[in-house]
Amino acid sequence: MKAIAIDGPAGAGKSTIARKVAKELGFIYVDTGALYRTVALAVVRQPFEADETAKVVDLLQEIKVELKFVDEEQRVFLNGEDVTDEIRSPEVSMCASVVSAIPQVRSFLFQLQQDIAAKNDVIMDGRDIGTVVLPNADLKIFLTATAEDRAKRRYDQLLESGTVVDFQKLLEEIKQRDYNDSNREISPLKQAEDAILVDTSGNTLEESVSLLLELIKRHIGL
């Protein structure tokens, strides 16, 4: 089995790019951020806050997170409910940044991620894939872009889905997530020593996909 790990900050285009690259290569795409967002959605639906760690940990006993591949597309389920679209709201995004810093949440999802990689050729993206989840990946990529560029992409994505948001607020949320993800005690966002840095600032989606495909084929001989 081949494994490609893609890490990087929020809004760098990891999910969109990795999904298209995986399809080109015939790999399974695993969006680990969606798993954390699913836990975050479960928390958002509760009458307590994400920083009430003990209550979040207790909630883990009541939830089941699953990845299913429907018509070659990854869908994520919370207790049997397809929540693929609902987990993309700004509220869930901010909650995910908080709950992903909880060690028990990371342990809860860790085995699921490793099991998928053990059974399939995968492209897996997240914040700590190359450093923690798949430290022996065949190729590690750290995908990034400027905060402004990332906020603009997320802004356009939300508008396209019919969600009206304030760009400046979105930019501040991106910067706050960067800080939260990089400064958490457990598995902080950082570039693995053997990862290749790829900056997609100013790139079109097609340019970024072509860049990664060329990189992957050159390094792991596909």
- Residue 187 belongs to domain with CATH number: 3.40.50.300
219 in any annotated domain: no
Mean pLDDT of 124-152: 93
Residue 113 lies inside a defined structural domain of this protein:
yes
Q: CA 2 to CA 157: how far, in whole Å? A: 30
Mean pLDDT within 112-119: 88
User: What is the span of the domain harbouring residue 190?
Assistant: 3-210
How many structural domains are present in the chain?
1
Q: How is residue 101 written in tokens? A: 């810093």
- Tell me the average pLDDT of the chain: 91
Q: Which residue has the tokens 């969606």?
A: 34
Q: Specify whether the CB–CB gap between 213 and 24 falls below 8 A.
A: yes
Please name the residue that has the structure tokens 């969109």. 16
- The whole model's pTM is what? 0.79
- Whether residue 222 is predicted with pLDDT greater than 80 in this model: the reply is no
User: Would residue 215 count as lying in a domain?
Assistant: no
Angle at CA of residue 51, ends 49 and 57, nearest 5°? 90
Residue-level pLDDT at 151:
93
pLDDT digits (tens, 9 = 90+) for 13-46: 888 899 999 999 989 898 888 999 999 999 999 9
Q: What single DSSP character describes residue 129?
A: I
Query: Residue holding tokens 């989606």?
Result: 205
Tokens linked to 29: 């795409």
